[in-house]
Amino acid sequence: MSKRNILKIIAFVVGLYFFLEYILPEKVGGEFDSYEVGCPVTVERSGKKLQFYVGNYYKGRGIIGRMVKSSGKWVKDAKPCLQRSLFLKFDQYGLTEPDAVSAPEGLTLLYLGQNEKEPVLCYAVSEDDGQTFRKKGPVVISTNEVFKTFENAPNGQIPDRIKSFAADFRNGLWEVYLFTMTYRVWRAEGPDLKHLSLEAAPIVSSTLTEKSPNSFDVYSEGGQPVLVYVMDREILEFRRSGNDWESKSWKAPKGNGTNDTVYAGGRMDVGEGVLYLGTKKMQKGRPIDSPYETQLASVALRDRGDGTPLAPEMSVYKKVGASPRPTYLSYGTEWAGKFLTVVGSFAIFIAMINLMLFHGKKIYQSALNYNAPAGEDKLPGGGAPMRNFIKNAGYSAVFLIFLAVMIVCAWKGQTDEAKGTVWKTSFDFLFNAIQLPMGSAVFSMITFYMISAAYRSFKVRSLEAGFLMAAAIVCMVGQMPIGELLASLVPESWKLLQLPWLSGKLLSVLNAAAYRAVLIGTLIGSVAISLRIWLGLDNSVYSSVD
């Protein structure tokens, strides 16, 4: 086997490892709720008690699962009932805080869809009691003037956002209560979830509690809404009395978990009282993945009347699902990272050695030719030997001296512990006096050349050249304060004449569109090149071998 083939095989095997590492899953098996369970909500439908909860396969990526109560036990469905979508933007990153409502058109599940922007309130409808859902997209609430900050905050103002919500369907009308970041509660109602209208003023305009509650829910009692706030383990119920809200609170007993949480949506009427479902967090021996394991548990029970806790209850009814097993490849990835880092570190010295060899040779040759008569040696110039020597080898000596000094100073003076020592001071000195100013000056020198180039060659000789020049000018001036100053002379509504707006659109629409096409091309090209190298078709890599 030739050397070239050995090299090709090495490259192929290493490439294959990383290729497999990409296409094969990092972990295999496991259930959708293997990482975390939480946010239980209960609902009754067709005489069955149903429960929906959020399960995470991976931190922060919620999927909704369903459980049915049969013969006193919660039984989990094998498959999740609602998953995040890959392509729809509003719940790409997962689903959180579900609320289930039994409506005539079907069992409706409302949830906050997580995406790269702000969470969006969405809903899905099921016709088979929650076994499967059909997504219906975001809930549409007509915004009034006061509420406008929700969608687009004016400059400099922190936008108010939905933090939590509760929904209900009564007398043919949908009611949605929105709890915002500023602790206000708004009410919206309408015939369906695509046509809700918001009330002019919030029903709770100031903070009822000092801290923001962990979860929030609303249920109705005699036609009046009762707001349920849960703070850690304290459950507060607010009923309207006149203009104020009257509170009733009690504490759920502490269980034996590290961090028990009650969920307002997990409110259930049971025979003897009201039961709240929540989660229990237990320390688990997985220090890197997750220090805790969460479990769903019935957390607190109280009587229907004055709110006294009944026999404290804390029973786990759902643990996290079976976790996936890491593959051998994924164990290896971390090691491979370290391995390649070390191999890469050694390559960096090649540059130094090459430079040292080059300059060292120069000095050596100049020293050899020190006394050679002018003209006979191969070196240029003539004159006194010393002058000749400095001219030919002086700069190389400068390089080697600065290299040696910098290596020593930087080695000894790079940590904070070296503060005050001569090493640190001289390291800082060399960096701030030579490396920093020169690096910057070299980078900036081209400005002058660009000015003369622009002056001479930026001429409108054709339509395309005109586009080029106009784009350059708009982009330069529009991003600068001078553009802002010019824009202030133009009325606000004349957007096309406002350079900052124009340059923003130029960059984010026209430039982005063109560059995206270039990008798609280059990315496909890079796959092709990688394939060539990986499969050993590219012989240029192995040139000068054999």
Partner 1 sequence: MTEENKNRSFWDRVQFCDPRILYALFAVVVIVFEMVQVKMPVPNPVWVGKLYDRIENLPPDKAVLIDCDYGAGNRGECEGQFKAVIQHLFSRNIKFMVVTWTTNVEGQKLGRQVLDEVAKKMNKVDGEDYVMFQAIVNAGGVTLQSLAKDIHGFVVKDINGRDLGDIPMMKNFRTIADVSLIYRVAYSWGGVPWIGFVQSVYGTPLAAGSAGIESSTAYPYLDSGQLCGLLAGAAGAAAYEKRVMEAGITPETGIGTKTVSVQSFATLFVVVSILISNFAMFMSKWQGKRART
Partner 2 sequence: MQKSKGKIFWIVLGVLVLAIAVWGEFRAGSIPQVAARVKDLDLPNLGVYRLQTWIAALSCIAVYSFLFKENPFYRFFEHALLGCATGYSCAVVMRQNLYSQWLVPIKKAIVNVAQNGWTSSDAATIALILAGVIGLLWYFQYSKKYFWVSRIAMCISLGAGAGLAFKDTFNQLIPQITGTFKNVCPSEYVMPGATLMERFYMGCENFIFVIGTVSVLMYFFFAFGNKNPIVKGSSKIGRWYLMIALGAFFGNTFMSRLSALIERVHFLMAEWLLISQM
Interaction residues for partner 1, span 321-340 (CB under 8 A): 333-334, 336-338, 340
In the region spanning residues 407 to 426, those forming contacts with partner 2, defined by CB under 8 A, are 407, 409-411, 414, 419-420, 425
Binding mask 62-101 for partner 2 (x = CB under 8 A): -------------------------x--------------
Contact predicate 377/368, CB 8 Å: no
Minimum CB–partner distance for residue 464 and partner 1 (Å) = 15
What whole-number distance in Å separates Cα of residue 67 and Cα of residue 104? 21
Parallel, antiparallel or unpaired: strands 315-318 and 224-231: unpaired
Q: Which among partner 2, partner 1, none contacts residue 483 (Cβ within 5 to 8 A by kind)?
A: partner 1
In the region spanning residues 346 to 405, those forming contacts with partner 2, defined by CB under 8 A, are 346-353, 355, 395-396, 398-405
Annotate 412-432 with DSSP letters as a single string.
HHSSGGGTTSHHHHHHHHHII
In the region spanning residues 163 to 202, those forming contacts with partner 2, defined by CB under 8 A, are 194
Q: Of 138 and 324, which CB lies nearer to partner 2 in the complex structure?
A: 138
531 binds partner 2 (CB under 8 A): yes
Binding mask 98-127 for partner 1 (x = CB under 8 A): ------------------x-----------
Residue span binding partner 1 (CB under 8 A) among the ranges 123-131, 373-381, 452-460, 534-542: 452-460
Contacts of residue 37, defined as CB under 8 A and 6 or more positions apart, other chains included, come to 53, 54, 55, 56, 65, 279, 294, 295, 296, 318, 319, 320
In the region spanning residues 497 to 536, those forming contacts with partner 1, defined by CB under 8 A, are 500, 504, 507-508, 511-513, 515-516, 519
In the region spanning residues 250 to 309, those forming contacts with partner 2, defined by CB under 8 A, are none
What whole-number distance in Å separates Cα of residue 297 and Cα of residue 281? 10
Contact predicate 131/81, CB 8 Å: yes
Alpha-carbon distance values, 205 to 165, 174, 179, 184 (Å): 15, 22, 11, 5
493 binds partner 2 (CB under 8 A): no
In the region spanning residues 457 to 476, those forming contacts with partner 1, defined by CB under 8 A, are 458-460, 469, 473, 476
Contact predicate 238/227, CB 8 Å: yes
Burial grade of 209 (CB within 10 A; 0-12, 13-18, 19 or more): middle
Minimum CB–partner distance for residue 471 and partner 2 (Å) = 3
CA angle (36, 37, 43) in 5-degree steps: 165
Which H/E stretch holds residue 517? helix 512-534
CA angle (133, 136, 137) in 5-degree steps: 125
Q: Of 157 and 243, which CB lies nearer to partner 1 in the complex structure?
A: 157
Q: Of 20 and 322, which CB lies nearer to partner 2 in the complex structure?
A: 20
510 binds partner 2 (CB under 8 A): yes
In the region spanning residues 107 to 166, those forming contacts with partner 2, defined by CB under 8 A, are 137-138, 140-143, 151
| 321 closest CA partner among 24, 50, 41, 58 | 58
Applying CB under 8 A, the site for partner 1 has a residue count of 74
Secondary structure, 3-state, 92-133: CCEEEEEEEEEECCEEEEEEEEECCCCCEEEEEEECCCCCCC
438 binds partner 1 (CB under 8 A): yes
Q: Which of 5, 371, 440, 488 binds partner 2 (CB under 8 A)?
A: 440
What whole-number distance in Å separates Cα of residue 474 and Cα of residue 299? 62
Q: Of 221 and 334, which CB lies nearer to partner 2 in the complex structure?
A: 334
517 binds partner 2 (CB under 8 A): yes
In the region spanning residues 338 to 367, those forming contacts with partner 1, defined by CB under 8 A, are 338, 340-345, 348
What is the phi/psi pair of residue 259, to 5°? Answer: -150, 95
Counting Cα atoms < 13 Å in the Cβ hemisphere of 463 gives: 0
What whole-number distance in Å separates Cα of residue 20 and Cα of residue 195? 49
435 binds partner 2 (CB under 8 A): yes
Q: Which among partner 2, partner 1, none contacts residue 485 (Cβ within 5 to 8 A by kind)?
A: partner 1
Minimum CB–partner distance for residue 126 and partner 2 (Å) = 20
